[in-house]
Amino acid sequence: MTGRLVLREVRRGLSGAAWLPMAFFLIVAAIVPFAIGPDAALLGKIGGGALWIAALTAALLPIERLVEPDRADGMLDQLALGGTSEEAIAGAKMAGHWLTFGPLLLVAAVPGSVLVGIDGTALGRLLVALAIGTPALAALAVAVAALTAGLPRAGAMAGLLLLPLAVPLLIFGAAASGGAPGGALQLEAAVALLTVAGAPFVAGAAIRAART
């Protein structure tokens, strides 16, 4: 059942608006030079961090379609009745969501890096850091979606929850993108691993608690 759930998430992600977070990511990347000014050296310095902020905000967009429609339509109840644990449901959703979010974000990061004036080795570092960070962003998105499912104004609540939770990932991810010494990449990987490992349990408990 878990495999079928992953496929279902991918199908729904692609038939829905998988490109929407990517377009949003690129628009945020495009407005950074307008806000900072055309100073290439300064842009190159802050570009990595700016793209991480763009990635975080892009991760917020799909949250409302990740868990709430399935809760409202009884899919989560039927899956539980069929013997699939809530943690497995959440894990499958995370995997399926990442497949439609992570690779596309990495692709969008290439033109995005041009917009903020990053190239060469800096671009390589950014892509590696994003590749490690996107599974954690997808896991956080599903966990936050489960925590806010069924609440009024869930979208705004999701932003308030996700952004603070993503701060450790942002710190190490942006540092690793900037080529900072001191093992920022390893620390980012550790934070991402912890997030991916813990999020299914948070989301699973939230799905159970939201049941009425």
Under the rule (CB under 8 A), what is the footprint of other proteins? Answer: 1, 4, 8, 12, 15, 72-75, 77-78, 80-82, 211
Q: In whole angstroms, give the CA distance from residue 169 to residue 177.
A: 12
Closer of 97 and 125 to other proteins (Cβ) = 97
In the complex, what is the shortest distance from the CB of residue 73 to other proteins, in angstroms, rounded to a whole number? 6
Q: Residue 4 CB, nearest distance to other proteins (Å)? A: 7
Residue (8 or 45) nearer to other proteins, CB = 8
d(CA 73, CA 123): 43
Q: Please name the residues in contact with 38: beta carbons below 8 A apart, sequence gap of 6 or more.
A: none
| Residue 75 CB, nearest approach to other proteins (Å) | 5
Nearest by Cα to 177 from 112, 94, 98 = 112
51 touches 36 (CB < 8 A): no
Tell me whether residue 74 or residue 198 sits nearer to other proteins (CB atom): 74
Per DSSP, 85 falls in state -
**Number of helical (H) and strand (E) elements in the chain, helices listed first:** 11, 0
Write down the least CB distance from residue 98 to other proteins, Å.
20
Q: Answer whether 112's CB lies under 8 Å from 26's CB.
A: yes
Q: Which residue lies nearer to other proteins by CB, 80 or 205?
A: 80
Q: How far is CA 53 from CA 7, 16, 46, 90, 92, in A?
A: 29, 24, 11, 25, 26
Residue nearer to other proteins on the CB measure, 3 or 181:
3
Query: What's the min distance (Å) between Cβ of 125 and other proteins?
Result: 40
Q: Measured from the CB of residue 15, what is the shortest distance to other proteins in angstroms? A: 6
7 or 42: CB nearest other proteins: 7
Q: How far is CA 139 from CA 165, 175, 207, in A?
A: 11, 21, 14
Q: How far apart are CA 41 and CA 61, in angstroms?
A: 31
